[in-house]
Amino acid sequence: MGPVINDFSIQVATVNGSGSQTANGILLRAIFQMGIPVSGKNLFPSNIAGLPTWFTIRVSRHGYLARRSASEILVVMNPETAAEDVAAIGPGGVIVVNDQIRTPPIPGDRFVYHVPMAKLLEPITTDVRLRKLVINMIYVGVLAELLGIAEDEVERALDAQLAKKPIALALNHRAVRAGWEWAKSNLEKRDPFRLERMDATARSILIEGNTAAALGAMFGGVTVVTWYPITPSSSLIESLGGFLEQHRRDPRTGEASYAMIQAEDEISGIGMVLGAGWAGARAMTSTSGPGISLMAEFAGYGYFAEIPAVIWDVQRIGPSTGLPTRTSQGDLAFVHGLSHGDTKHPVLLPASVADCYAFAMKAFDLAERLQTPVFVLSDLDLGMNVWMSEPFAYPEEPWDRGKVLGEEELAKLRKFERYRDVDGDGIPYRTLPGTKDAKGVYFTRGSGHDEAARYTERPADYVATMDRLARKLETARTLVPPPAIEQDESAEVGLIAFGSTRWAMIEARDQLRAAGIPTGYLLLKALPFTAHLAAFVGRHRRVYVVEQNRDGQMADLVRRELPGEAAKIRSITHYTGLPVDARSVTDAVLAMEGAPAQPPLAQGAAR
Amino acid sequence: MSDPTGARNRAGLTRADYDGAKTTLCPGCGHNAITGGIIQAAFEAGLEPSKVAKLSGIGCSSKTPAYFLGRSHGFNAVHGRMPSIATGVSVANRELLLIGVSGDGDTASIGLGQFCHLVRRNVPVVYIVENNGVYGLTKGQFSATADVGSTQKSGRVNELMPVDLCAIAIELGCGFVARSFSGDQKQLRPLLKAAFAHRGTAVLDVISPCVTFADHEGSTRSYAAVKEHDAPLHEIDFVPYFEDTSVDYEPGTTREVEMPDGSSIYLKKLAADYDPTSREHALRAIHEARAERKLITGLLYVEPDLPPFEQELNLVETPLAHLTLEQVRPPRRVLEEIMEELRTGRAPGGVS
């Protein structure tokens, strides 16, 4: 077997709360600094300490960042899951074991390296608590030697991560070195896996989607942020809080140009956002599925009263304790129609960290332009995992505050009616409380209002309101981010995806092309659909909608949008709670296209 | 409701300028009297209507903001959620005076959580509970403030402990807590004016009989029952800072509470001396009154100097809603530095 260079996955099986996250982060970054495309997936439990956690690092010279269903290299650090972890490594795979952990017998066609981790730690620290944390650095050193991670890159990654903690830094350096030197003098390299420097990451950044969203919100000019803690959304707000604290306070007086409020629940969270939006602030909240459920009534209120609001849903699996640390795209249909009555909300669908950044700004512009709640549907995979990306660009456009009448504009008007469709686009004009001109005053309430915001239960008034709101949604089609389309003139098969599913799609399309099936591709970026959808579907003989939920929610929406094309639409779903992998998509398409399934590219059982 | 004299206040407005739409509540409803009280108090206080925002939840009481201050923006929210709307409006525009109207169902049941947290945050809002012990719009069910032993029209007796919103507010650190009666305008009006001058949450629990569902014998919130059990703690006078009135009271008969804006509340002793600056005293008085089946009314607790929410947040002077793009979008350099940190792995400016 020849060498396998820059194309494999490493799985570290450990226990949460053990400090392995620092070690894994250093591995990831050191490989990234070698110029090799890399991605990391953290599979963690909803727990503070003591339960199994897996971190998977994928290196791909092709630049594929999606999760793979199998890994070639395993680091065994958790006795509880050792048997299961070892069984998942196929022939030819590598198993690095802390020698104090017992594993079942391992077949001879795996490469096993037993590392005396505890013994190596003895000269480093006598503190039992510190040993527990620092032991992870031993496998960093061992893997570095084994795979050929450049020494200076590990040192740099370590320095960067722990620069502010000199004592911890020194300790970690020694532990890495101990693993390294032990491996150098004791391990006989027998496996084929190697890392070699490339030049594919020089300008790139590494960032989590939630951090990217936080940056976008700050540069988008957010002024009111509310939240209630919930995984996997909390880190969005916490990093936003950090950025705002640093960049949006007057350094002299400490005065803040923003309010950040931890609400008592998500109902209150969205209520505060609606109050602030009504009063003219750029307001947002972020939550996950259970919080979205609580926001349902207010979401409808915002829709009917026409109040801007931005709501992030970093999707997980719920309700209750559900699988709160597993990813999903299961909130799509619920969020799009959230609330009772005839409601429909614009929904933005970021597919990358760059989208998270850009849509965090765009969502405010849309919410204020359309005077309605706008939802941004991220997910745990996008939000909480680390992604490589091009650096983000500074916004060159000013913000769009929408149709807000100031004193001067009001003074020129003979009369003001809050809900009149003056421009024919379904979007009325609004005024803000505090407006001096008495003709700008209005009273806000739910759906029972006429054009002048007076209470009414007249059928004709209600119908007029509903029809105008429908017109407004038509206008939204022209304002939301358009899909990204990749044409292939020879393709009879079209693929549609959204959100974090994108990463598996890139790879699946290459696999399908290799199997003789070229595909066209449309990556949806928003609801309502834009005109691109009909054209794309019309161009293909068959269209697969790929998504991470059980029932094919997006496929349903596409069929409803294009009833004449419904027979063409097929659904491919993935709902294990783990990010979708390319092979699952490829195999599903091949099976439905009647082509023989290819032998699996990766060996080993799927986790 | 216009003032036949046409007198103008310091805002240059007549009393009629504070009117709203015509009420749609039942004739004789206590809420209408409170609406009248708000109009009169706003006129006397010389409120600038454009600087006021009216907020409410759902219920008979929550309809009333449409019936006063027609020149102010209004927001009739969803059931029990006015406090969160108020919080959002308040942080977005700290220059607004918020008048929130709610009911006992809206505040003591569905909205109890939001009410508590509004009070904890000390969000500046004049929070008026029009409290009649029943759900009116849904035809007479008990609310959570109904007294033990009070009956419905059908004769059903309430056996559950009532929620005392004033006691809860005091317990949670509210700096202005009053109880009043819709039938006692002489007391209600100065309380409202004092609440307008308070910077922080001001809770006014106003007992307001429901003439349709709770004015019968057996209801402890009928006009007759409230009049019988009403025990005012003091006579109240409010002198705003802009009125150059010297008030002479016999020494030892009156307490004066100074508000941060220079206004004063004068509390004239009635039967016994009542100290509204002691939280313990206030809570004891509420508990004793319940045991004696008395309805004590007046300024139960006041602590005018508590920092309001915007101070806790250390907000800039300019309302957040009025900040310009330049004030809220950090310069290009900041993004470039953060990108460099994310490229090299040094912890970003946010949370490491």
Q: B121-168: per-residue pLDDT in tens?
A: 999 999 999 999 999 888 889 999 999 999 998 899 999 999 999 999
Beta bridge partners of A272: none
Residues sharing a CB contact under 8 Å with residue B138, sequence separation 6 or more, in sequence order: none
Q: What mean pLDDT comes out for the span A71-93?
A: 96
Domains of chain B from N-terminus onward: 15-311 (3.40.50.970), 317-344 (no CATH)
A160 at B interface, C-beta within 8 A: yes
Summary mean pLDDT of chain B: 94
Write the DSSP assignment of B244-299 as a string of letters: -------TTSEEEEE-TTS-EEEEEE-SS---TT-HHHHHHHHHHHHHTT-EEEEE
The two structure tokens encoding residue B321: 């809603």
The verdict on residue A345 lying in a domain is yes
**Chain B residue nearest residue A396, CA to CA:** B332
**Chain A residue nearest residue B67, CA to CA:** A443
Is residue A473 located within the same domain as residue A493?
no
Beta bridge partners of B52: B97
Q: Map tokens 């209120």 to a residue.
A: A301
State the pLDDT at residue A518. Answer: 97
- Measure the CA–CA gap between A576 and A317, rounded to whole angstroms: 10
Angle at A463 between CA A458 and CA A467, to 5 degrees: 155
pLDDT-derived band at B347 (thresholds 50, 70, 90) equals low
Q: Please choose, from the candidates A106, A81, A94, A89, the residue with its C-alpha nearest in 3D space to the C-alpha of residue A187.
A: A94
Q: A158-195: per-residue pLDDT in tens?
A: 998 888 888 889 999 999 999 999 999 999 999 999 99
Is residue A374 located within the same domain as residue A241?
yes
- Measure the CA–CA gap between A153 and A164, rounded to whole angstroms: 18
Using the 3D structure, point to which of A464, A479, A494 is the last residue of a domain.
A479
pLDDT-derived band at A319 (thresholds 50, 70, 90) equals confident
Three state DSSP letters for A151-205: HHHHHHHHHHHHCCCHHHHHHHHHHHHHHHHHHHHHCCCCCCEECCCCCCCCCCE
Is residue A240 located within the same domain as residue A355?
yes
- Measure the CA–CA gap between A122 and A117, rounded to whole angstroms: 9
Instruction: Inspect the interface and report whether the beta carbons of A239 and B76 lie closer than 8 Å.
Output: no
Q: Which of B75, B96, B341 to mutate to test the interface with A (most CBs of A within 10 A)?
A: B75
pLDDT-derived band at B4 (thresholds 50, 70, 90) equals low
At A216, which amino acid appears? G
Q: Map tokens 């959580």 to a residue.
A: B113
CA dihedral A290, A294, A299, A302 (to 10 degrees): -140
Give the largest Cα separation in chain B, rounded: 78
Is residue A529 located within the same domain as residue A586?
yes
The verdict on residue A200 lying in a domain is no
Is residue A62 located within the same domain as residue A10?
yes
The verdict on residue A247 lying in a domain is yes
- Measure the CA–CA gap between B238 and B246, rounded to whole angstroms: 12
The distance of A250 to chain B (nearest Cα, Å) reads: 9
* Among B93, B325, B336, beta carbon nearest to A221: B325
State the pLDDT at residue A600. Answer: 44
pLDDT-derived band at B81 (thresholds 50, 70, 90) equals very high
The verdict on residue A603 lying in a domain is no
3-state secondary structure of A505: helix
Instruction: Inspect the interface and report whether the beta carbons of A443 and B347 lie closer than 8 Å.
Output: no
Is residue A229 located within the same domain as residue A163?
no
3-state secondary structure of A95: strand
The verdict on residue A604 lying in a domain is no
CATH number for the domain including A171? 3.40.920.10
- Measure the CA–CA gap between B126 and B214, rounded to whole angstroms: 26
Residues sharing a CB contact under 8 Å with residue A182, sequence separation 6 or more, in sequence order: A115, A116, A120, A138, A141, A142
The distance of A605 to chain B (nearest Cα, Å) reads: 34
- Measure the CA–CA gap between B265 and A441, rounded to whole angstroms: 32
Using the 3D structure, point to which of A435, A451, A479 is the last residue of a domain.
A479
Q: Please choose, from the candidates A39, A55, A44, the residue with its C-alpha nearest in 3D space to the C-alpha of residue A380.
A: A44
Instruction: Inspect the interface and report whether the beta carbons of A239 and B351 lie closer than 8 Å.
Output: yes
Domain extent at residue A558: 484-592
Instruction: Inspect the interface and report whether the beta carbons of B316 and A164 lie closer than 8 Å.
Output: no
The verdict on residue A202 lying in a domain is no
The distance of B285 to chain A (nearest Cα, Å) reads: 30
State the pLDDT at residue B289. Answer: 95
Is residue A373 located within the same domain as residue A464?
no
A230 at B interface, C-beta within 8 A: no
The verdict on residue A28 lying in a domain is yes
Q: Residues 17-76, chain B: which have Cβ within 8 Å of A? A: 49-51, 53-55, 65-66, 70-76
Residues sharing a CB contact under 8 Å with residue B296, sequence separation 6 or more, in sequence order: B179, B231, B232, B233, B285, B286, B289
Using the 3D structure, point to which of A435, A464, A479 is the last residue of a domain.
A479
Task: Please tell me the total count of domains within chain A.
Answer: 4
The two structure tokens encoding residue B62: 């929550």
Is residue A362 located within the same domain as residue A256?
yes
Q: What mean pLDDT comes out for the span A542-552?
A: 98
Q: Residues 293-352, chain B: which have Cβ within 8 Å of A? A: 310, 313-317, 319-323, 325, 327-330, 332, 334-336, 338-339, 342-352
CATH number for the domain including A505? 3.40.50.920
Q: Residues 200-259, chain B: which have Cβ within 8 Å of A? A: none
A391 at B interface, C-beta within 8 A: yes
Is residue A81 located within the same domain as residue A189?
yes
pLDDT-derived band at A596 (thresholds 50, 70, 90) equals low
Is residue A141 located within the same domain as residue A69?
yes
Residues sharing a CB contact under 8 Å with residue A309, sequence separation 6 or more, in sequence order: A270, A273, A274, A277, A283, A284, A285, A302, A367, A372, A373, A374
Q: A186-225: per-residue pLDDT in tens?
A: 999 999 999 999 999 999 999 999 999 999 999 999 999 9
Q: A450-485: per-residue pLDDT in tens?
A: 999 999 999 999 999 999 999 999 999 999 999 999
* Among B89, B317, B342, beta carbon nearest to A206: B342
Is residue A214 located within the same domain as residue A351?
yes
- Measure the CA–CA gap between A358 and A212, rounded to whole angstroms: 9
CA dihedral A207, A211, A215, A216 (to 10 degrees): 90
Cβ neighbours, 10 Å, residue B340: 13
The verdict on residue A395 lying in a domain is no
Cβ pair A196, A6 in contact under 8 A = yes
pLDDT-derived band at A604 (thresholds 50, 70, 90) equals very low
Is residue A113 located within the same domain as residue A169?
yes
pLDDT above 50: residue A360: yes
Exposure of B34 by Cβ count < 10 A (0-12 exposed, 13-18 middle, 19+ buried)? buried
Write the DSSP assignment of A376-405 as a string of letters: EEEEHHHHHSEEEEPPPPPP-SPP---SB-
